Structure 1
């Protein structure tokens, strides 16, 4: 890494959403606490950040998110009982964060992703920072953010995740207008949030970002975009041409856990990959498919 490229130490997790697509499960439980096999979505995202070298975790929360905060705290009663019964604490020991970390800030109104990120401006300060959306579960080695950090260390500026989607789905996402391609890096010449009509490409941004702090200055004067919300995509677009801007195509698997089908697929895929439960799940799935085929 060159001296002119500042290291990414902080990551923002926008977790104030209401999770209406998963009602009634999310009526009293944060959607980020939905489990894939035996681990909440938010823990997968936090582990991804920590493995990528992030030092400070910043949660942008809302009302009703106490379970999320408790998850990353010490549970004295649980740990004491497990020790007394001779049970291993391995499953929960790596959940704890350092004293005083992570940091929690409130998004008091659901005004969009751009507004949620802006709520973390005082903690981010004058540093580049990552943004991770826990709904997007990424599986790869090295993980997605680690791949992006490595790319960022070469090109600097802003780096966003990039994945190809069918043309019929481009109206659901922030879409990249591509320029020069260098391996997995694509120069970003423009960004459009949920384009109507013909999209500039089929490269979408799957919830992973490394951004320069100047984006917060843009968000200081927000403009309502798609859906009447303050869109992060619109703010990032204003940095294009002023700072280096690239998309990085992930080498791995993506599961959209904000969608019910994607959530079930993630559970199945990660369960099948495990040595302890994979064989049993595989036999069950094979039998289930055979029954469906006979029906």
Structure 2
């Protein structure tokens, strides 16, 4: 079973400037909850028991959000606002934090979780991507594949051609409906992407991924690219991908942030 998850949240959020100078993009609201709250709820609903947040020095607001506010609780109790106390509850899950001193890429952020993970398979969830599905969730779909294959699994999503240059894009061989064996990944292809299947913000890895990250030199954008580690790992181990079913929003893109709020609105009425 997958019991541990890493949530990298140390990036600068440059696509969200200027607001991300002071408000982490992970705290952008979808309805009345920040995006990262939905991602933590997804992890909890998938059986995750421990989460490691990788944050930067400027992301203290994330830790504050997931901490109890005893002063606020006391105020609401005094006002007998029990419905607001219920609304203010944070997900009941064990959370740890580690700082990434400099944003050197997703691979570097995940490597900081090596001691936290130990020898266990683990999940990675990117907190600027939210997935809505009334019957299941994104991570559960990956876990189902992992439990069958016992190999690392990537979350895939069909993305419009003009957006593929923002993602890692896979070359794969379909083995079942919605499930593929990954052959290759190209990081942010500027032309001739191998498919329209992008790797989105859900992963399950066997812990051997760390040894491949440790052997990397900086790649695209002079960062330690997780994609490079996956390609190296695939030379020795099989990798699978599952095309996630659900409505997925990348809230670092302004139009998708707005779309996520429009999507969630009927559920709040």
TM-score normalised over the length of structure 1: 0.87
What residue in structure 1 maps to residue 18 of structure 2?
24
Query: Aligned-pair distance for 1:220?
Result: 1.3
> Do structure 1's residue 41 and structure 2's residue 35 form an aligned pair?
yes
Whole-angstrom distance in 1 between the partners of 2:132 and 2:193 = 27
What residue in structure 1 maps to residue 199 of structure 2?
205
Whole-angstrom distance in 2 between the partners of 1:48 and 1:195 = 30
Query: Is the 2:40–2:91 contact (alpha carbons within 8 Å) kept by the matching residues of 1?
Result: no
Whole-angstrom distance in 2 between the partners of 1:259 and 1:34 = 11
Query: Is the 1:147–1:250 contact (alpha carbons within 8 Å) kept by the matching residues of 2?
Result: yes
Whole-angstrom distance in 2 between the partners of 1:238 and 1:146 = 26
Query: Is the 1:175–1:205 contact (alpha carbons within 8 Å) kept by the matching residues of 2?
Result: yes
Query: Aligned-pair distance for 1:24?
Result: 2.6
Q: Among residues 129, 142, 161, which one is paired with 2:155 in the alignment? A: 161
Query: Aligned-pair distance for 1:195?
Result: 1.7
Q: Among residues 108, 125, 132, which one is paired with 1:139 in the alignment? A: 132
Size of the alignment, in residue pairs?
266
The aligned runs of 1:72-91 (5 Å cut-off) are 72-87=66-81, 88=83, 89-91=85-87
> Do structure 1's residue 110 and structure 2's residue 103 form an aligned pair?
yes
- Answer with 1 or 2: which has the greater Rg: 1
Is the strand fraction higher in 1 or 2? 2
Query: Is the 1:74–1:96 contact (alpha carbons within 8 Å) kept by the matching residues of 2?
Result: no
Whole-angstrom distance in 2 between the partners of 1:72 and 1:168 = 36
TM-score normalised over the length of structure 2: 0.95
> Do structure 1's residue 119 and structure 2's residue 115 form an aligned pair?
no
Whole-angstrom distance in 2 between the partners of 1:191 and 1:68 = 31
Q: Among residues 167, 170, 184, which one is paired with 2:164 in the alignment? A: 170
Query: 1:50-89 CA deviation, whole Å, 9 max, x = no partner?
Result: 1000110100000111111011111101111111111121
Whole-angstrom distance in 2 between the partners of 1:96 and 1:239 = 34
> Do structure 1's residue 61 and structure 2's residue 55 form an aligned pair?
yes
Gaps of 5+ in 1: 1-6, 277-295
What residue in structure 2 maps to residue 293 of structure 1?
none
Whole-angstrom distance in 1 between the partners of 2:234 and 2:261 = 37
Q: Give 3-state SS (helix, strand or coil) of 2:51's partner.
A: strand
Gaps of 5+ in 2: none
Query: Is the 2:41–2:91 contact (alpha carbons within 8 Å) kept by the matching residues of 1?
Result: no
> Do structure 1's residue 129 and structure 2's residue 122 form an aligned pair?
yes
Whole-angstrom distance in 2 between the partners of 1:8 and 1:62 = 26
Q: Among residues 223, 229, 238, which one is paired with 1:235 in the alignment? A: 229
Query: Is the 1:29–1:64 contact (alpha carbons within 8 Å) kept by the matching residues of 2?
Result: no
> Do structure 1's residue 250 and structure 2's residue 244 form an aligned pair?
yes
What residue in structure 2 maps to residue 279 of structure 1?
none
Whole-angstrom distance in 1 between the partners of 2:130 and 2:173 = 27
Whole-angstrom distance in 2 between the partners of 1:20 and 1:239 = 30
Query: Aligned-pair distance for 1:37?
Result: 0.8
